[in-house]
A and B are shown apart, each in its own frame.
Chain A
Amino acid sequence: MFKRKILLAEDDGDDQRFFNEFLKDRNDIILMPSADDGEELFTILGKIDKTGELPNLIILDQNMPKTNGLQALRLLKADSRYAHIPVSIYSTYIDEELMKKGLEWGACHVVQKPLSNEGYNQMIDSLFKVCASIE
């Protein structure tokens, strides 16, 4: 079975824990070590770039210090090495502007942060559906 490698950029430790804890038992994904913010995301990508093991999916938290989700999205889509990787933005609160800009700038998915174990799993399921429709 094809396992998608997922890279999460998230500055909140609790949220990193929720994400990894709730999704660790899924057999259709590989959770890469999370990036602590938008800048570290690019450091990680730069390192694995050489090994050719780029993620199949990137999930960005919107509210991160230094480089936020939308800014990271722009940088990813502007970089030919990473532009092909589907990106999802998730945030505690989604307003119209975030939704509009996120989709306009090439995110395939803009969602609210889940509130439970099931919520996290549903988020991944729906993310895969969107990805499948793109692939």
Chain B
Amino acid sequence: MKELEELRFQLHEANETIEAIRTGQVDALVVQGQDGHQVYTLKSADQTYRVFIEKMTEGAVTLNQQGLILYCNSQFAFMAGLPLSQVIGISFEKFIIADDLSLYEESFRKCWEQDCKVELMLKTREGKAPVQLSLTTLELQEGRALSIIVTDLTAQKKTQQQLRENNIQLEEINHALELSNHDLQQFASIASHDLQEPLRKIHMFSNLLKANSKVLSQDLQTYLQKIIDSSVRMRTLIVDILNYSKLSANDHVMDCIDLKEIVNELIEDFELMIEEKKARVIVGDLPSIDANKGQIRQVFQNIISNALKFARADVAPVIEIKSRRVNKKTFNSADDADGPYWFISIKDNGIGFDEKHVQNIFSLFERLNSKDKYEGTGIGLAIAKKIIEKHNGIITAVSKPGKGAEFQMILPVTQNM
């Protein structure tokens, strides 16, 4: 009993000593051996390093030249799932899974010549885990030893695997999307081309009938005109759908274009309508931006034509087009002479609309007004929105019924951002 008590005391003392070393409170030990008292200083490092090694998230192990573990930090013992006492003194290769033993042995041979790293599977408390071993030789007074830093790669491998899976999934989705995009464009193109031929026939034969319509009653002549008007309208619809579907293709060239020039060209195109409606178009300073000329022209054309179309019956249309340079891609962005965006506004004094419809007017086929009163297909603003978005810009409208409408766009100065 007394002996047992003695041993228990020694164990307690030893544990305390180890704890003291571990927490960095001890720099040297005096041990009573066969040759009297001996002083052991802790050469491995000063206190900072010992604390550092103990606290780090990697496992740290020191081996002798036979591969026996002389020292390990508690992180490694935690990884192995064993108390420290059962790790010290045993061969490190006991922790390597059988399949990777030869890999480890090869590195163990080489590392005495040159530092090396190896990835293999370690036996752990959870079975096994992928780790990276960084092997470095240490020149100690007692001879050479080997330091191994054990980095757990479980999370990294898992992330990599996840990334690979996500990439594969993304590729599949991309592929499917490309196919459906292609199908859609094919469909739009074929439908539009093939729809146009019979439509043109309807138009042609109706025109032939009309040329001889004197024999027809007034009613029949009206019906005939309705057939012609409808076929013209359908033709416009088909052309607009086709143009809209073409916007999905990503092959549009961007150049530096002068918006002022485009607007002036459009004013010339609209000359007749402007004269007829006694409209006034006030063009302020407009910038040059990186854009596809044909497409941006289309945007301005659609909005200006709307402004002329949706004029109030009793008031001559006034359209104001102006711009200012801003620093953010928001409609309330502050002015900034060197900002990366242009705020462009096209404002009219027409019939306007209720702002709760603002999202609708940019959707395909959405009309707020009856087609009897105002001609059009309801595609114009959808096309405008798609083009602006393709130019990395945004578009909105502010309006009140009877108070005119203002179309606002934010477009980047350059496209290579």
Contacts and interface: CB of A to CB of B under 8 A. Distances in A.
A103 to B, nearest CB: 17
Nearest to B207: A116
A115 interface: yes
A63 B193 CA distance: 10
B211 interface: yes
Contacts of B197: 12, 63, 92
A93 interface: yes
Given A92-B193, A93-B192, A93-B193, A113 B207 contact: no
Contacts of A63: 193, 197
A61 to B, nearest CB: 11
B207 A92 contact: no
Interface in A76-135: 92-93, 95, 113, 115-117
A115 B211 contact: no
Contacts of B196: 92-93
A66 B257 CA distance: 43
Contact of B203 (A93, A95, A115, A117): A115
B409 to A, nearest CB: 25
A18 interface: yes
B278 interface: no
A118 to B, nearest CB: 10
A115 B206 CA distance: 10
B164 interface: no
A114 B319 CA distance: 35
Contact of B204 (A18, A93, A95): A18
Nearest to B211: A117
A35 B197 CA distance: 19
A14 interface: yes
Q: In the complex, which of the residues B200, B201, B239 has the most CB atoms of chain A within 10 Å of its own CB atom?
A: B200
A91 to B, nearest CB: 9
B192 to A, nearest CB: 7
Interface residues of B, number: 12
Interface in B185-243: 192-193, 196-197, 200-201, 203-204, 207, 211, 239, 242
Interface residues of A, number: 11
Contact of A115 (B193, B204, B239, B242): B204
Given A115-B207, A116-B207, A117-B211, A14 B201 contact: yes
A70 to B, nearest CB: 14
B200 A113 contact: yes
A22 to B, nearest CB: 10
Contact of B200 (A95, A115, A117): A115
Contacts of B203: 115
B203 to A, nearest CB: 5
B138 to A, nearest CB: 73
A85 B197 CA distance: 28
Contacts of A113: 200
Contacts of B207: 115-117
A18 B207 CA distance: 12
B212 to A, nearest CB: 11
A14 to B, nearest CB: 6
Interface string B241-270: 010000000000000000000000000000
Contacts of B239: 93
A113 B203 CA distance: 12
A95 B196 CA distance: 13
A102 to B, nearest CB: 16
Nearest to A117: B211
Nearest to B239: A93
A2 B197 CA distance: 34
Contacts of A18: 204
Contacts of B211: 117
Interface of A: 12, 14, 18, 63, 92-93, 95, 113, 115-117
8 contacts: A14-B204, A18-B204, A63-B197, A93-B193, A113-B200, A116-B204, A116-B207, A117-B207
Given A92-B196, A113-B200, A116-B207, 10 more contacts: A14-B201, A14-B204, A18-B204, A92-B200, A93-B196, A93-B239, A95-B242, A115-B203, A117-B207, A117-B211
List the 5 closest A-B pairs by CB distance, nearest first. A92-B196, A116-B207, A93-B196, A92-B197, A92-B200
